Amino acid sequence: MANLYGKNYTKEELLRRVGTISQIADARLIELRNGNEAGVRAVHFHTGSGFNFMVIADRGLDVSSCDYCGQSLAWQSSCGDVAPQFYAPKGFGWLRSFPGGLITTCGLTNAGAPSLDEGEELGLHGRYSNIPAKNVCVDSEWQGDDYVIWAQGKVQETRVFGENIVLTRRIWTKLGEKRFWLRDVVENIGYQSVPYMILYHINGGFPAVDGGSEMLSPTVSFRPRDPDAELEKELHSSFLAPTPGFKERVYYHDMATDKDGYVHTALVNRAFNGGQGFGFYVRYHKQNLPRFIEWKMNGEGMYVVGMEPANSLVEGRDRERARGDLKYIEPGQKLEYDLELGVLTSPCEIAELEDRIRGVV
């Protein structure tokens, strides 16, 4: 049953009040038309609660903009939702088409720093987010008194004499909700074992991130990636106002889980709107995403905090191999990932989530 405007409504009660349900909530396939975004297919969701987000079909069905009642959850880069033909695969060229956005997926055969691994030159964070999805379907249906809205498609990373991996992604939400769910099923449809790295680059921005905001997490232990991150490492989960000359700080976390194996993390700004509070949470299963990377980037313009569940660290595939940590996906093997992401809009919601996180540490 949908909760809208402070009241619960059944399917029949709502349909009697509208000419079409898209008056309240829907998902629409659109095409971007401006500059280097021209021709990019996207899906715009709105749920009727004030929660809106855009999924970019031509960038692996990643999630770009996302807002609640006009308040942004995500940091968006100056690059925009760049069309995939502008992808620069070598070195740090990936940064020329990195849109930021709420979720950018990194992988599938490489994530993290550029490297030379067994003679193969690998660029930053892999190819996934610059691959258009195939068989994109956008639809909705009533399931009892719940109106469910979704987009689904397949992203294939493949080459001759190399990997052949397909990721099937489904993103869905419901009428009246201020959250969405993402499910990925990754399958090796080729005939050889291949290196496999995946990272969900979740990019929080203003006003969820501001001076005095913080990351809530069930951190058991953490360590800085490099000397830059050693600076004020005891304040790793607290964030500064935009700071001239700030250098990114990256931390590796070991997370505790709840009894079902899930991790809850959040970015919260308790002072927002006179103490009303604002932020968002991420829920994911740790079994296939055992790593968690925090990206603290409190610079000017580059003002973002990344919460990044992953199956690897971010120092490059060659380093993963050298440590003996490099993962492989075998022929016919399937792996599943479930994420939930939702808005926090009051002190009570923030406190409830904080209690849940403290309860597992």
CA 317 – CA 330 distance, rounded (Å): 17
Residue 94 is predicted with a pLDDT of 97
Query: What average pLDDT does this structure show over 130-147?
Result: 97
Of the candidates 257, 323, 259, 266, the one whose C-alpha atom is nearest the C-alpha of residue 290 is: 257
Query: What average pLDDT does this structure show over 180-193?
Result: 98
User: What domain range includes position 278?
Assistant: 2-358
**Residue % of the chain over a pLDDT of 90:** 98
Query: What average pLDDT does this structure show over 182-190?
Result: 98
Query: What average pLDDT does this structure show over 329-336?
Result: 98
Q: What is the mean pLDDT of the chain?
A: 97
Of the candidates 121, 129, 113, the one whose C-alpha atom is nearest the C-alpha of residue 167 is: 129
The model's pLDDT over 82-106, given as tens digits with 9 standing for 90+, comes to 999 999 999 999 999 999 999 999 9
187 and 207 Cβ atoms separated by less than 8 Å: no
Give 188's pLDDT tier (boundaries 50, 70, 90): very high
Number of domains in the chain: 1
Helix H segments across 77-125? none
The residues, ordered by sequence, that sit 6+ positions from 199 with a Cβ below 8 Å of its Cβ are 105, 106, 107, 111, 112, 125, 291, 293, 308, 309, 310, 311, 312, 314
Residue 278 is predicted with a pLDDT of 98
Residue 1 is predicted with a pLDDT of 86
Full-prediction pTM beyond 0.85? yes
**Residue % of the chain over a pLDDT of 70:** 100
The model's pLDDT over 253-300, given as tens digits with 9 standing for 90+, comes to 999 999 999 999 999 999 999 999 999 999 999 999 999 999 999 999
Residue 72 is predicted with a pLDDT of 98
CATH code for the domain of 11: 2.70.98.10
46 and 54 Cβ atoms separated by less than 8 Å: no
CA 310 – CA 318 distance, rounded (Å): 17
Q: Could you give the dihedral angle defined by the CA atoms of residues 320, 321, 325 and 329, in that order, rounded to the nearest 10 degrees?
A: 110
Q: How far is CA 48 from CA 51, 65, 102, 151, 343, in A?
A: 7, 17, 20, 17, 14
The residues, ordered by sequence, that sit 6+ positions from 355 with a Cβ below 8 Å of its Cβ are none
The model's pLDDT over 20-60, given as tens digits with 9 standing for 90+, comes to 999 999 999 999 999 999 999 999 999 999 999 999 999 99
Distance of CA 130 to the CA centre of its chain: 15
Q: What is the CA radius of gyration of the chain?
A: 20
Residue 248 is predicted with a pLDDT of 97
Helix (H) or strand (E) holding 282: strand 278-285
Query: What average pLDDT does this structure show over 116-122?
Result: 97
Give 316's pLDDT tier (boundaries 50, 70, 90): very high
